[in-house]
Chain A
Amino acid sequence: MTDKPELDGHSGVFTTGHEWDGIRELNTPLPKWWLYINYISIIWAIIYCIFMPSWPGLPGMGYFKGLRHHSERANVAVALDKLQAARAANAQSLTSVSLDQVENDPDLLTFAMAAGRSAFGDNCATCHGSNGIGSIGFPALNDDVWLWGGNLDEIKQTITYGIRSGHDEAHFSQMPAFGRDELLSVSEISDLTELVLAMGGSDHDQSAATRATVNFDEQCSICHAEDGTGDRYQGAPNLIDSEWLYGGSRRAITETITNSRFGIMPTWEQRLQPWTIDSLAVYVHSLGGGE
């Protein structure tokens, strides 16, 4: 065993000088380019630590902010302000004209549709589905059925104040829970269900439906109208079309009559800017069912 580095004849490189079970190793230096990159990285790291936020938990000052005072959060705020400023002109003209005028101005319409689409995705699609396809209990917005009216101003009104949201201006109506509150007996409700099924054109028990006509006239027609076509003023659904917000099965209708429904849509007045609500109204109106 030798502890002196020897020169290796083949490679021209010295060995480490140590021997492991008869094996000696060349002490080949690191490639220079590799080493320099390592040094440059170290220098870079030091520079980085000086200029950028680096050390956490410093007594008295929290983290070290760096000479550049860089903050991603602040950058986002600036970027968002920039975005708002870029939208300001269009947003301004959007709120200064009527919604009908917006629809007739191609540029404003494009802006409102784009803004409306993204606002819809962020706020409305959770319940109303993407592109407003709706689901059980949450009205589809792309068909021609509107509980509270489907023209631009009515849509805007609904978005602004909501439905049963608690806001003074919100749409409000309440159907009695005929079963739960014992206004009608179980068999009367069962008969009424058959009548409602008949109105919607579904399979039904005709004699039961006939039995229910008196109750319908007394209890239901005030809101749903005598012919069952509903009343938008009270948000009372049309019972003779093929659309059912909570399902058109016997079971679903019985449940509705027994326990009533009380769907709530929040008011967006506080949460969205007026121009965003305008864009949303235009967007929802454009989904196909707008009146």
Chain B
Amino acid sequence: MTQKKTNKTTIIGGTKPGKGAKAHASHGIEAVDAQAVNSTESRELYASRVQIHPKLAHGLYRKIKWLLLFATLAVYYVLPWIRWDHGANAPDQAVLADFAGRRFYFFWIELWPQEVYYITGLLILGAFSLFLATALFGRVWCGYTCPQTIWTDLFIVVERWVEGDRNARIKLAKQPMRGQRLVKTVIKHVIWLLISFVTGAAFILYFHDAPTITPAFFLGKAPGSAYLFAGILTFTTYSLAGLMREQVCTYLCPWPRIQAALTDEDTLEVTYRGYRGEPRGPHKKKDSWEGRGDCIDCNLCVAVCPMGIDIRDGDQLECINCALCIDACDGVMKKIGRPVGLIAYDTEKNRQRHECGEKPKLNIIRARTIAYGSLITLIGALMVVGLSTRSMLDLNVLRDRSPTYVRLSDGAIRNGYLVKVINKGTKTRQFEISFSGLSDYSIKVIGQKITGKTVLISARADEVRNVKMYVTLPKSQISVSGSSIPISIDVSEQLADGKIGETQSNKSVFMTGMK
């Protein structure tokens, strides 16, 4: 069986028997020779991938996609260059995941590693927003904003610029790999690699100070991890957006599978309105439209599809809802003087309604959208409240555990505590540390002479001030207490005017060594 071999050179829409390349569809419209890569008639179990050559579409959705492509890429490349004052001793990059300094900066927000739950919250928020968008509009994420879609789109722009639009590319692909084809192929791949490299290099700007790392990177002075990640991202961008393209969506990405569970019959999806289009067939100018469908079988919707599929075959796993087929078909409908919207965003319910002769309507408020919406509001509100009331003072008390207590020569018991006073503010601040829960005790602080029972310390901006303290309880106190005494360590900020600022308190215990 050698069919497999011949298939290799088949271009999508390899000549269908009985269909000329210039078949007539309607006045002014020539049928395109395009066939869905996943059409059931031609599908084989062991078929190789068929190269897809999407035609450039024109229309509303293509415009929206250009805008989003430009906007998202601009955000990606520009964001790390924005400067922001984070206070003394801190980097001045607005968005920065500073692993060396163990901080995450996002404009006015500065997160410490122990506050990573805000990032978890952000991820949950992102997930639920995706769920909501999917429940309402189907795979909008895939069609408009997914990096895979954006970069593939960008790579196709390059391809089109170097090799021409669909027909020229198909023609070129049939030529042997030398001369013009070789030159164009090399140019295309070089530009792709350049874009990939810029993509990978921009990624590391989010983890280093952008103006410093950029020259260092080219002088070979950046840390090894920077080159590693730039290399990995270059490789993945080039292979995913340049070579693998639609296969990523169809075979690799888990999101299409998850989405199947997120959409329902009220979800707006790119839909071919079969009731309007069928029976399809070429149309002559003078012929009436009575008794036939609006689809003139021009195959333009297939030709523009970046996934290489035919939306007229119904909802499909491969369809990323990019709406380019809507643009293509609307253009055709306008030319032949039929109403647009043969392919349009519509819901399955509306198709059923049409069958029953009911009026179409949108059902946006449903159990799942309400659930997603309220979860988003709830988590969003929690995050906002958390971030705005977030304390700039944090306290961690680590009690000595090895040994848990020390018996002194006069029978007194001493416990050690490492008090970590964390000043998240942007200025040096004074704090007072005090103990409660014990009486008749004495304290000792390493590196400080103290007279009373409180300790005054100062912590610089963005500093964790470690204070090693020893608390000693005399024998007389020990004998009247149990094996441990609950205590609390309190820290209060001392403002310049003598007032108390932020306070924090930590519970701990004093081990007496008694049974």
Contact = CB atoms under 8 A, between A and B. Distances in A.
Given A103-B446, A286-B446, A286-B468, A242 B407 contact: yes
B113 interface: no
Given A12-B1, A288-B416, A243 B400 contact: no
B402 A143 contact: no
B400, B407, B409: residue with the most chain A Cβ atoms closer than 10 Å: B409
B409 A145 contact: yes
A286 B402 CA distance: 15
A286 B447 CA distance: 8
B410 A143 contact: no
Interface string A108-132: 0110010000000000000000110
A133 B403 contact: yes
A288 B4 contact: no
B406 interface: yes
Interface in A230-265: 238, 241-243
Nearest to A12: B1
A138 to B, nearest CB: 14
Interface string A133-170: 10000001011110000000000000000000000000
B446 A143 contact: no
B466 interface: yes
Contacts of B409: 143-145, 238, 241-243
B402 A130 contact: yes
Given A12-B4, A133-B402, A109 B446 contact: yes
Given A110-B466, A143-B408, A243-B409, A104 B447 contact: yes
B414 A242 contact: no
A62 interface: no
A31 interface: no
Contacts of A288: 406, 414, 416, 444, 470
A140 B406 CA distance: 10
B2 interface: yes
A59 interface: no
Contacts of B444: 288
Interface in B372-419: 400, 402-403, 406-411, 414, 416
A143 B513 CA distance: 14
B314 to A, nearest CB: 31
B285 interface: no
Most central of B400, B403, B414 by chain A CB within 10 Å: B403
Contact of B407 (A12, A109, A143, A238): A143
Interface size class of B (residues with CB under 8 A): 20 to 34
Interface of A is mostly: loop
Nearest to B415: A288
Given A131-B400, A133-B403, A288-B406, A242 B446 contact: no
A238 B365 CA distance: 84
A106 B402 contact: no
Contacts of A243: 409
B429 to A, nearest CB: 15
Contacts of B2: 12
Contacts of B446: 103, 109, 113, 286
B286 interface: no
A286 B2 CA distance: 83
Contact of B403 (A109, A113, A131): A131
Nearest to B469: A288
A57 interface: no
Contacts of B447: 103-106, 109, 286
Contacts of A73: none
Interface in B436-468: 444, 446-448, 466, 468
B22 interface: no
Nearest to B459: A106
A4 interface: no
> Among A130, A242, A288, which residue has the most Cβ atoms of chain B within 10 A?
A288
A243 B407 CA distance: 9
B5 interface: yes
Nearest to B410: A241
A109 B409 CA distance: 27
Contact of A242 (B1, B402, B411, B468): B411
Contacts of B406: 140, 142-143, 288-289
Contacts of B408: 143-145, 289
Interface hub of A10, A105, A106, A145 (most chain B Cβ within 10 A): A106
Contacts of B402: 130-131, 133
B469 to A, nearest CB: 10
A29 interface: no
A9 interface: yes
Interface in A27-65: none
Nearest to A109: B447
A242 B446 CA distance: 26
A268 to B, nearest CB: 22
Nearest to A10: B1
Contacts of A103: 446-447
Contacts of B466: 110
Nearest to B1: A12
Contacts of A10: 1
A117 to B, nearest CB: 11
B406 to A, nearest CB: 5
Contacts of A9: 1
Interface in A184-236: none
A87 to B, nearest CB: 19
A288 B466 CA distance: 16
Given A113-B468, A288-B406, 8 more contacts: A9-B1, A10-B1, A113-B446, A131-B402, A133-B402, A242-B409, A286-B447, A288-B416
Interface of B: 1-5, 46, 400, 402-403, 406-411, 414, 416, 444, 446-448, 466, 468, 470
Please give me the 3 A-B residue pairs with the lowest Cβ-Cβ distance, nearest first: A241-B409, A286-B446, A12-B1
19 contacts: A9-B1, A11-B46, A12-B5, A106-B447, A109-B446, A109-B447, A131-B403, A142-B403, A142-B416, A143-B407, A143-B409, A143-B414, A144-B408, A144-B409, A241-B410, A286-B447, A286-B468, A288-B406, A288-B470
